[in-house]
Structure formats: structure tokens, C-alpha cells
């Protein structure tokens, strides 16, 4: 079987998967410009950020499309179902992925408050005792998207003695409510933003969430706030964030995900002094990637043996 990783980025995903598959499996990666040609001979496609369209599927022998993670927004699931192609993902709750992303979200938040760019400048200029920073302690934090990552984040924010609010479209369980000091639905977001110091964006990218952190949401904060995005770039409206930073409504932005990836290094957002950016590494940890490689390999072997994959999202 040929397993195609649709990116030459995230190299450890392919490396770790190849390690746990039996000999004889052909595990390859491709560049964007070679994707259509390489997909024709693939039995398994791991999409990452690539769009897997009906045209791609019809022109290939693919049997399984399995994301290395949870997000399937780039896959035409309806077409895959019609073509009897399995589509599966790897939920984050028990792989180490959710806790890895949650830890990285806190790293970004702490970076915004402690100003590492200014620290580096002070070191170069041989200054000590500058800059003055802020604490995460005592802040009001809102987690937009209270799924697996959001819940892991809430658990890790509690020792900082923060006030934790959560927003989710579906009802919360009693156990989930215990992790929060307040909660609401997307309809409540603007009202809740009035007291928020730090907004964590953890919602998946869907038609409903695309550009949902927009001018109206940003403008609803009376005192200004900092933002951390560890979900998908498109959940936040680009122009609204850039304008918010320039106008001081957004005090700082910690970004691990972007509107296109790789993100242009000369984009004005990255040049803003209040932005801390990382190259989509929130879930890229040893525990997360090793576990997801094992899950992916298990699904590949199940499909090879005529069985449906685990976490199959399009039963037919």
C-alpha cells in the first residue's frame, strides 16, 4: 500500500508512521505542486491542510482519507461517501494532542504578557530589569470552543487562579460546567467579551465559525484584550485582527495557526510588535505525534485487511 502525506511539513508525522507500519508499506510525502500526480497512486491520503476534492478522489485509487489529527474541513466528505472512500480522523482527547495544544496556548499567553521580543532587545542592548510584564494570575479568560482542547486548557488555567469562561454551541455537561466559572453560547459572546482579558480561540473551523471573531466581537471589549489562536486561522477574521492590533483594541496576539500555511514571513501581522507567532507546533510533541502515528497505522492496517477504520466519520 502507498500512504501519501500531503505535505513536506510536519516531517515527524510521516517518519513516526513509517516506523510503526510493517515492512513493505510505501510511505511518501509530496509538495503542493506534485499533489494531484502523487494522489493518483495513493491507497491512503493524509491530507493535513490540502483540499481533497471529488476530482482528486475520482482520479485516484484511494481507499482511506485519514487526517493526522481531528480537522477534516478540507475534505469533501459527501463525495467520499458517494465514492465509498473511508474518511477518518484522530480525536485529540486521548492522544496527548489536546493537552499539548493546551500547554502551547498557555505558553503563547505567557509570552504575550512577558514580552519576549522586548526581553531580547534588552539583552542585546545590555539592559536589565526591563521590560515590565503582566501576570496570567487574576485574568479573566474566555475559551471560545469548549471541546477537548478547551477542556484541557481550562484544567491547566485553574492553578493560575484565573476566572475561566467558556463558549460552545452545544450544551455543556455538569462535569464540563465544573471546569468553568461561567459559560454561554456563541450568541452570548459579545456580552461576555466585556469582561475578558484573554480570549483563547479553540473552536474548529466550520461554516458557522469562519471569521466569527470579527470586528463586532473585537469591538465589544470595553477594555481591550489579548488573543491566542490555536485552532484554525480562519476562525479569526484577518482584517479585524490586524485593525484591532493597530487600534489597540487587541493588546496582543499569540498565533500558532494562520489563514494560509506556510504563512508569508513578510505579512504585516508578523511585523507587529504585539504579535507572538509559532509555526503550527501546538500539537507537535513527542507524546502526541507518537500516539497519532500508532492510531493512523492501525487504521491503515484495518483498511488493508478489509475492515472499516476507527473514528470513521462517513459510514456507508
Tens of pLDDT, residues 26-75: 999 998 888 888 899 999 999 998 999 999 999 899 999 999 988 898 99
- pLDDT given for residue 147 in this prediction: 94
Residue 310 lies in a domain: no
Residue 217 and residue 82 share a domain: no
Check 261, 290, 298, 310 and give the catalytic one: 261
- pLDDT given for residue 99 in this prediction: 95
Q: Angle at the Cα of 158 (from 156 to 161), degrees rounded to 5?
A: 135
Residue 316 lies in a domain: no
Q: Which residues contact 107 (CB under 8 A, 6 or more apart)?
A: none
Question: What residue spans of the chain are helical by DSSP H?
Answer: 11-20, 35-39, 54-58, 77-82, 97-114, 116-124, 148-157, 174-177, 189-192, 215-219, 238-247, 268-271, 286-304
Q: What is the pTM of this model?
A: 0.90
Cα distances (Å, whole numbers) of residue 110 to 103, 199, 227: 11, 13, 11
- pLDDT given for residue 183 in this prediction: 97
Residue 296 and residue 242 share a domain: no
Burial label, 72 (beta-carbon count in 10 A; 0-12, 13-18, 19+): buried
In three-state secondary structure terms, 211 is: coil
Check 104, 168, 232, 295 and give the catalytic one: 232
Residue 313 lies in a domain: no
Residue 242 and residue 153 share a domain: yes
Residue 230 lies in a domain: yes
Residue 226 and residue 192 share a domain: yes
Residue 314 lies in a domain: no
How many domains does the structure of the chain reveal?
2
Residue 118 and residue 38 share a domain: no
Give the pLDDT confidence of 107-140 residue by residue, as tens digits. 999 999 999 889 999 999 999 999 999 999 999 9
Residue 31 lies in a domain: yes
Can 31 be counted among the known catalytic residues? no
- pLDDT given for residue 300 in this prediction: 97
In three-state secondary structure terms, 33 is: helix
pLDDT along the chain (316 residues), means of 10: 93 96 93 88 93 92 94 93 96 90 98 92 94 95 97 97 97 96 97 97 95 97 95 97 97 97 95 96 95 96 96 92
Can 9 be counted among the known catalytic residues? no
Residue 13 belongs to domain spanning: 2-91+286-304
Residue 300 and residue 235 share a domain: no
Query: Is the peptide bond preceding residue 262 cis, with omega within 30 degrees of 0?
Result: yes
Check residue 263 and report its DSSP letter: P
Residue 34 and residue 164 share a domain: no
- pLDDT given for residue 33 in this prediction: 85
Residue 210 and residue 111 share a domain: yes
* Cβ–Cβ < 8 Å for 34, 27: no
CATH number of 147's domain: 3.40.50.720
Residue 33 lies in a domain: yes
Residue 249 and residue 129 share a domain: yes
Residue 19, all three cell numbers:
516506523
Residue 249 and residue 156 share a domain: yes
Can 232 be counted among the known catalytic residues? yes
Residue 128 and residue 215 share a domain: yes
Residue 255 and residue 120 share a domain: yes
Residue 51, all three cell numbers:
483540499
- pLDDT given for residue 121 in this prediction: 92
Burial label, 236 (beta-carbon count in 10 A; 0-12, 13-18, 19+): buried
Residue for grid cell 487574576:
138
Residue 315 lies in a domain: no
Amino acid at each position: 500500500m502507498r500512504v501519501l502525506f500531503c505535505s513536506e511539513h510536519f516531517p515527524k508525522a510521516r517518519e513516526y508512521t513509517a516506523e510503526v507500519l510493517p515492512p513493505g508499506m510505501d510511505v511518501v510525502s509530496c509538495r503542493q505542486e506534485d499533489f494531484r500526480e502523487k494522489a493518483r497512486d495513493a491507497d491512503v491520503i493524509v491530507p493535513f491542510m490540502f483540499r481533497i476534492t471529488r476530482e482528486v478522489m475520482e482520479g485516484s485509487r484511494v481507499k482511506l482519507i485519514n487526517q493526522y489529527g481531528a480537522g477534516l474541513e478540507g475534505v469533501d466528505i459527501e463525495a467520499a461517501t458517494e465514492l465509498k472512500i473511508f474518511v477518518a480522523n484522530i480525536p485529540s482527547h486521548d492522544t496527548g494532542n489536546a493537552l499539548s495544544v493546551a500547554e502551547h496556548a498557555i505558553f503563547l499567553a505567557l509570552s504575550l504578557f512577558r514580552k519576549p521580543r522586548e526581553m531580547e532587545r534588552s539583552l542585546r542592548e545590555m539592559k536589565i530589569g526591563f521590560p515590565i510584564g503582566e501576570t496570567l494570575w487574576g485574568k479573566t479568560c474566555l475559551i471560545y470552543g469548549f471541546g477537548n482542547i478547551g477542556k484541557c486548557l481550562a484544567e491547566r488555567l485553574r492553578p493560575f487562579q484565573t476566572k475561566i469562561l467558556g463558549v460552545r454551541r452545544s450544551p455543556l455537561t455538569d462535569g464540563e460546567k465544573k471546569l468553568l466559572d461561567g459559560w454561554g453560547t456563541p450568541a452570548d459572546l459579545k456580552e461576555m467579551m466585556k469582561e475578558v482579558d484573554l480570549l483563547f480561540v479553540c473552536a474548529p473551523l466550520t461554516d458557522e465559525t469562519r471569521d466569527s471573531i470579527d470586528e463586532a466581537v473585537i469591538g465589544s471589549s470595553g477594555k481591550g484584550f489579548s488573543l491566542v489562536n490555536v485552532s484554525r486561522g480562519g476562525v479569526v477574521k484577518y482584517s479585524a485582527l490586524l485593525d484591532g492590533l493597530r487600534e489597540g483594541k487587541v493588546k496582543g496576539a499569540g498565533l500558532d495557526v494562520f489563514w494560509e500555511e506556510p504563512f508569508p514571513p513578510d505579512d504585516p501581522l508578523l511585523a507587529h510588535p504585539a504579535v507572538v507567532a509559532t509555526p503550527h507546533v501546538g500539537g507537535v510533541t513527542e507524546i502526541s505525534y507518537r500516539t497519532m502515528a500508532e492510531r493512523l497505522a492501525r487504521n491503515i492496517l484495518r483498511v488493508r485487511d478489509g475492515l472499516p477504520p476507527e473514528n470513521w466519520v462517513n459510514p456507508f
